Amino acid sequence: MNSSSRKRKVLIVDLDVHQGDGTAFIFKDEPSVFTFSVHCGKNFPLRKQQSDLDISVEDGLEDEEYLFTVADHLPWLLESFRPDLVLYDAGIDPHWDDELGRLRLTDQGLYQRDLYVMKTVVSRGVPIATVIGGGYSRDIDKLALRHSIVHRAATRVWRECGM
Ligand SMILES: [Zn+2]
């Protein structure tokens, strides 16, 4: 089977603090799409959908443990599923200052997370597209700044990987 007739595979990496329940439900019977969600178990939605891989974390998780959790799964997922494209939901609501998040990530932690995800994917020659997600704060300037983190990380990956 050549590459044009082979069904392309997509890995969805959803790191918004809430479960990626929408994509989990939409693609539950679609083997060419693998849904991976890391979320806070006690957060909305109370009734979770079933992703292909759900990692439920406890309230109050901080940068280092969170990053270990992501790094524990992303490499082997890429090696075993071998996606043609990764879609990355870079939700900012795991931030400590988020009104709904319940986790304790810092700006630097979000930046390291985004950098790690993009570098890990791109270094394997797999394209990645990201979307901003989540983020609940009444301070719009803070929120906008936080949403710029993934763009800053993407710029660095783009420069360093010479794409
Ligand atoms: Zn969210």
Domain ranges of the chain: 10-160
- Taking a 5 Å cut-off on Cβ, the residues next to ion ligand 1 are 16, 18, 93, 134
At 162, is the pLDDT very low, low, confident or very high (cuts 50, 70, 90)? low
Cα–Cα distance, 26 to 124 (Å, whole number): 27
Cα–Cα distance, 45 to 8 (Å, whole number): 30
Q: What is the mean pLDDT of residues 7-21?
A: 97
pLDDT given for residue 163 in this prediction: 57
Task: Show the tokens assigned to 88.
Answer: 């990355």
pLDDT given for residue 158 in this prediction: 94
Strands 10-14 and 85-91: parallel
pLDDT given for residue 161 in this prediction: 83
pLDDT exceeds cutoff 70 at 64:
yes
Residue 10, phi then psi, degrees to nearest 5: -125, 130
Distance 20 CA to ligand 1 centre (A): 9
Distance 91 CA to ligand 1 centre (A): 6
| Longest CA–CA separation in the chain, Å | 53
**What pLDDT, in 10s, does the model give residues 98-152?**
999 999 999 999 999 999 999 999 999 999 999 999 999 999 999 999 999 999 9
CATH number of the structural domain 10-160: 3.40.800.20
Distance 147 CA to ligand 1 centre (A): 13
Distance 33 CA to ligand 1 centre (A): 21
pLDDT given for residue 139 in this prediction: 94
Distance 88 CA to ligand 1 centre (A): 13
pLDDT given for residue 117 in this prediction: 98
**What pLDDT, in 10s, does the model give residues 39-57?**
999 999 989 999 999 999 9
**What pLDDT, in 10s, does the model give residues 85-99?**
999 999 999 999 999
Cα–Cα distance, 148 to 152 (Å, whole number): 6
